A = this chain, B = another copy of it.
Amino acid sequence: MRGRFITLEGGEGVGKSTNRALVVEQIEQAGYRVVATREPGGTPLAEQIRALLLDVREEPMAPQAELLLIFAARAQHLERVIRPALEQGHWVVCDRFTDATYAYQGGGRGMDIATIGLLESLVQDGLQPDLTLYLDVPVAVAQQRISGRPHDRFEREQTAFFERVRASYLQRAGADARFRVVDAEQSLALVQSRIRSILADYLKSCPDDRSA
């Protein structure tokens, strides 16, 4: 039986990496094999594309070039990692996926949503995450959290950009039952307890198809 595809979404500084580890552990404890990965990236080539996307450079990147690079990395990631893992019955836990494209390129950059949808159909051919944890933090709080480290090309954007990204995430989360919104402004202990409870409920809803 096909594995489940779980994504973590949210802006910078919401704790996706820390919480991805928790999600992976809990699913493994339930007896499933898990592939932990991230976007953009997840294969050597896709990570090279990620570097092109994040590097701060003098040459401005055309918004269409950015969007097409993201979907090029995604096509590679889907073909080489995500689809083969799901087909083998493994679960895939991915730090960011296409919801991030709608939030950053659609909401943040104001790119045409229909164009994003068209590339999504082309590359995903109907594949969607089964469960998406959206870690929500007010922009000012997230910016405080990442203030101590060097900023990549996206993190250098202005506050208004991140407000549009967050609004876009919240709007999508409200419109699709696969989303669970986690208030990630709380303490890590409370955030993790909420994630554990979401995962426990989700695992209960899955038929017993462990590969073990």
Binds B, one of A66-74, A160-168, A169-177, A191-199: A66-74
Find residues 20-65 in chain A having any chain B CB closer than 8 Å to their own CB.
43-46, 48-49, 52, 57, 59-62, 64-65
Min Cβ gap A42→B in Å is 11
Give the A interface residue count (CB, 8 A). 30
Nearest residue (CB) in B for A60 is B80
Contact partners of A43 in chain B: CB under 8 A = 59
Structural contact, A76 and B72, CB atoms closer than 8 A: no
Contact partners of A52 in chain B: CB under 8 A = 45, 48-49, 52
In the bound complex, CA of A60 to CA of B84 (Å): 14
Determine whether A75 belongs to the interface, using a CB cutoff of 8 Å to chain B. yes
Binds B, one of A7-15, A96-104, A115-123: A115-123
In the complex, the count of this chain's copies comes to: 2
**Residues in chain A within 8 A of chain B (CB atoms):** 43-46, 48-49, 52, 57, 59-62, 64-66, 68-69, 71-73, 75-76, 78-80, 115, 118-119, 122-123
Structural contact, A45 and B72, CB atoms closer than 8 A: no
In the bound complex, CA of A78 to CA of B66 (Å): 13
In the bound complex, CA of A55 to CA of B52 (Å): 16
Pick from B64, B72, B118: contact of A65, CB under 8 Å:
B72
Structural contact, B62 and A79, CB atoms closer than 8 A: yes
Contact partners of A119 in chain B: CB under 8 A = 68
In the bound complex, CA of A80 to CA of B61 (Å): 9
13 extra A-B contacts, CB within 8 A, seeds A62-B75, A64-B122, A65-B72: A44-B57, A45-B52, A45-B57, A45-B65, A48-B52, A60-B80, A64-B72, A65-B75, A65-B79, A68-B68, A68-B71, A115-B122, A118-B118
